[in-house]
Structure formats: structure tokens, C-alpha cells
Amino acid sequence: MKKQLKWYKSYHPWLFLIPTLIGLFVFRLWPISYSFYISFTTWDIMTPPKWIGFQNYKELLSDPTFYKILTNTFLFSLIYVVGVMVVGLFLAVLVNAKLKGRDFFRTTFFTPVVTSAVAVGLVWSWILAPKFGILNNFLSSVFHINPPIWLEDTRWALLTVAFIRVWKMAGYYMIIYLAGLQEIPGTLYEAANIDGATPWQRFKNITLPLLTPTTFFVFTIAIIDSFRNFAIIYTMTRGGPENATNTIVYSVFLNAFQFYRMGYAGALSYVLLLIVGVITLINFLLKKYWVQYQY
């Protein structure tokens, strides 16, 4: 039986969506359509765009570096998404407990999120430096191993930069998880305690399942966010060494604001959009298999 529209008229949804629709069409879709058109041109910003059809896309697909960049992008995203989800949830659970001083800890965990990328880049470059950096000095004196030069080693650079970004953003996902954790009624935990459940059992059987809507949200956002790695790469490695940390968005930045090839940058962006769009679509299609709403 079809549910009757009892409390809203058919025009109400549109009323509620007026700001969003205006914003969406004027400030999002217009610039995106324009830049999509630009991806079929060559444009240096100063002189008018010149139509070149699919040439940008052809150049992109025939450039071996592009495939390296693509691989880096996926790898980075994988590490990032897994990292922030696990660490973010871990931190949220920690600071959700009724501990004294938890406000202080909530704040300190959030601090890297607001610390400027420049400072983050500088300090971490120091820590990871080969000659005077504390990490390598520590590893060689205590464990007697010869550590790699993290940011300059083609095998480790990407992992290192991704790790630093996880460190920076874990607090962001922590607060989202925290909001989600508040939806789980404390009564459920009390009942579990009476039944003699261990913390791990409580987590596995109450927290995780009831958190799935939030987890879905976090997962979706983290995927989209994982591709926005321009700032951290710029401050730490500038895409090097030998393109080891070059990702699609970093290439977009280079082509848009350093080489002034807006058309090519556009082509890169829309290939990215295609990829992320497909991933997100699959994500949404699979949603019903694991996300449980409470009611």
C-alpha cells in the first residue's frame, strides 16, 4: 500500500530545496559545465580558448606518466581511506568514554586538522630528514637499522605522504564518528553490561552495526576527500621523486596554475570525476547490503 502524503504537500520538498537548487545550478553546475567545455580546448587563461576536440584526452591517455599518476592516486586513496576510517573511529571511541579530561583530548586530536599545511609540511620534513631528523636518528641508534630517506625514496615517498595526511585528518573523521556515536542509546550498552559483555563484544555487536549509517557516510566522504591531496603533496614532496607522489589532483594544480594549460587540467579533472563517480555509484548500490538503519 502506498504511503499517503500526510504531512507535506508535493511542493514542500521543492520549497526546502530552494537554496540548494540555486546554489547547485548557479555556483556549481555552471562552473563545472564551463570547465568541461574548456577540457576540449586549449586555454592559457589570457587569450580566448581554442577548440581542439578530444586532443587533451588523447594526450592524457597516451602519456605513460598518466598511468603512473593514476596508480599513485589509487594507492594514496586506499591508504588514506582505510587509515582515516580506522584511526578516526578508534579516536572517537576513545574520547567518547566518560573520562575526565576528555574535552582536552578531543581538542588535541582535532588540532592537526586545523594546523596549517605549511607548518605540517615543515615539521614533518624535519622529523623525516636523513641527517638531523629525529626519526632516522632514533631508528639507527636504537634498532641499528639503516632507514630509507623517506620522502626521497621512490618506494616510500607515497606511503609516507599518505600517512601524514591520515595523521592530519584523522581528527576530522573522529568528530563525525563522535556525532554518530551519540545516536546509539546508552541503554543498549547498559543492558549489554548486565549480560556480562566485554568491551570488544559491546563494540562488535552494538557499536559497529548501529554505526553503519555513519560509517557509510564517512566512507563516501573519505573516498571523495582522499583525492584532494594537493596541499600536502605541495608542501612535502612536490610530486617527486620521479613522480612517485604525483597524483591526479596535483597534476591538475600543476597544469592549471603553473603551466597554464587549463584545457589539459580540465581533461584530467573529468577523468578523475569519471573514476570517482563510478566508485561512488558502486558504493551506493552496495549500501543496502551492509548499512542498517536503527528503525
Partner 1 sequence: MKRSIGLFLVVLLFSVFVLGSIAIAKDVVLKYWMWDPQLTDEVNKLIAKFESQNPGVKVELTAMAPKDYWTKIRIAASTKKLPDVFNMSSGYLEEWAQKGFLKDLTDYVNKDIDPEKYFINLFDAGKAISGTDKYYAVPFALVTTVLYFNKDMFDEAGLSYPNSNWTWDDFLKAAKALTKDKDGDGKIDQWGYYFYGRYANVEPWIYRNSGYLINRKKMRFEPNDNAMEAIKFLISLVKEHKVAPMPKLMSGMKAKDVFPRGLTAMWIDGSWNIRNNRKVIGNKFRWGIAEVPMGPHKADVEFGWPDFISMSKYTKHTDIAWKFIKFASGEGLSLDMYMAGKIPSYKPLALSEAFLEKGKQPAEKGLLIKMAAKEMKNSFTKGWGEWRGYGGAEKMGLNGALDSILNGESFDKVWPSAVKYINKVLARYYK
Partner 2 sequence: MINKIFIYMLLSLIAFVMIFPFLWMIINSFNSEENIFRVPPSIIPDRLFKKDMFENYRAVLKDYNFARYGLNSFIIAGSAALGQVFTCSLAGFAFARMNFRFKGIIFALLLMTMMVPIQVTIIPEFYLMMKLGWIDTFAPLIIPSFLVGTFGTFMYKEFFENIPSDLEDAATIDGVSALSMFTRVFFPLAKPQTVTLFIIAFMNNWNDLLRPVIYISSKNLMPITLALTQFQGEYDAQWGYLLTGAVLSIIPLLVVYIALQKYVVEGITHTGVKG
**CB of residue 83 to partner 2, shortest distance in Å:** 14
Answer whether 252's CB lies under 8 Å from 268's CB: yes
55 interface partner picked from partner 1, partner 2, none, CB below 5 to 8 A per type: none
258 interface partner picked from partner 2, partner 1, none, CB below 5 to 8 A per type: partner 1
Answer whether 77's CB lies under 8 Å from 279's CB: no
Q: Rounded to whole angstroms, how far apart are CA atoms 117 and 164?
A: 11
Compare residues 199 and 242 and give the one whose CB is closer to partner 2: 199
Compare residues 208 and 242 and give the one whose CB is closer to partner 2: 208
**CB of residue 61 to partner 2, shortest distance in Å:** 18
CA distances, 288 to each of 213, 223, 278 (Å): 10, 18, 17
**CB of residue 79 to partner 2, shortest distance in Å:** 18
Which residues make Cβ contacts (< 8 Å) with residue 97, sequence separation at least 6? none
Burial status of residue 60 (CB atoms within 10 A of its CB: 0-12, 13-18, 19 or more): buried
Positions touching partner 1 (CB under 8 A) are 44-47, 125-126, 128-133, 149, 151-153, 234, 237-243, 246, 253-254, 257-260
Closest CA to 91 of 165, 218, 178: 178
115 interface partner picked from partner 2, partner 1, none, CB below 5 to 8 A per type: partner 2
In the DSSP assignment, the letter for residue 128 is T
Compare residues 12 and 242 and give the one whose CB is closer to partner 2: 12
Compare residues 110 and 203 and give the one whose CB is closer to partner 2: 110
**CB of residue 269 to partner 1, shortest distance in Å:** 17
